[in-house]
Amino acid sequence: MKNDPRVNDILEAIMSLARLDFSKKIPIDDQADSLTAIAAGVNMLGEELRENVVSLKEKEQLLKELHHRVKNNMQIIISMLKLQTVNEDNARLLALVQDSQNRISAMALVHEMLYSTKDFVFTQLKEYVDFLATSLFMSYAPPEHQIEMELDIDTEIYFEIDYMIPLGLILNEMMSNSLKHAFPNATGKIRITARVDEDGKHHIGYSDNGKGLPSNFDLRQSESLGMQLIVMLTEQLDGEVAIKMENGLSYELRFF
């Protein structure tokens, strides 16, 4: 059996399958022995793997296209909102529309980043925050501002879409509020940190050294839509959020 050429054929076929190359087929002869049975089994395995791999690639392509279309549809909504305000001079309405556009953009960014990944499942938090900050600074930071952005985020922290979208919206609200209200002199600093403790719980820290909020401010009693979103979305993540008003404003977000 050692010198039987069918042994090499079987080994070559198995190596081809390991490389996801399904072109190698083992000739089946009339010998009713164990090598013939093994050869037939390897050929059957190759066919099954080929069908599964093709099916998986089709699903991946469909999923990729889904993320792309969702992102594009969100961009269309943003454009429609913008068109609705072309001839509008109501400052409050314009501000509300701008906030809505940025919230939609925060969600669209998750789909855009997933579209560019290989597995279409996880989004790196640090990269996401980088993109989000750039977008919000363009929207809200005044020209020639002196507002710094500091990130201390572990590059190994990734989130699935069900977590990344609500977390992205939370960070969008925190950053938007800081850029709009915290720095009347357009000078200051925003800092975001993220780590995972020994128990696997995520800790997201957000702070700015701006003018802060009134000493009697209650996050859960606030009538601000942005603050209500922070509370609601934190609960959606089965987390908790604490707020401090020392040397500006800071949030501590903890979940799972």
Q: What is the CATH number of domain 121-255?
A: 3.30.565.10
Read off the pTM: 0.70
Q: Which of 178 and 22 is assigned the larger pLDDT?
A: 178
Phi then psi for residue 222, to 5 deg, are -65, 140
How far apart, in whole angstroms, are the C-alpha atoms of residue 95 and residue 108?
A: 20
- Six-digit token string for 134: 């750039």
* One-letter amino acid of 163: Y
**Which contiguous run of DSSP H or E holds residue 122?**
strand 122-124
Whether 71 and 120 have beta carbons less than 8 Å apart is answered as no
List pLDDT tens digits, range 67-110.
Answer: 667 767 677 777 777 777 777 778 888 888 888 888 888 888 87
**Which contiguous run of DSSP H or E holds residue 111?**
helix 91-115
pLDDT at 58: 65
Q: Is the pLDDT score of 182 beyond 80?
A: yes
Strand partners for 195: 203
List pLDDT tens digits, range 58-67.
Answer: 666 666 676 6
Phi then psi for residue 123, to 5 deg, are -120, 130
DSSP characters for 16-73?
Answer: HHHTT---------S--SHHHHHHHHHHHHHHHHHHHHHHHHHHHHHHHHHHHHHHHH
pLDDT at 59: 65
- Six-digit token string for 100: 């809505």
pLDDT at 63: 64
196 confidence band (pLDDT: 50, 70, 90): very high
The whole-angstrom distance between residue 53's C-alpha and the CA centroid of its chain comes to: 26
Helix (H, G, I), strand (E, B) or coil at 90: coil
3-state helix, strand, coil in the chain (%, to 5): 55, 15, 25
Q: Which of 240 and 15 is assigned the larger pLDDT?
A: 240
Domain boundaries of the chain, sorted by first residue: 121-255
Q: Is the pLDDT score of 56 beyond 70?
A: no
pLDDT at 129: 92
List pLDDT tens digits, range 203-222.
Answer: 999 999 999 888 778 888 88
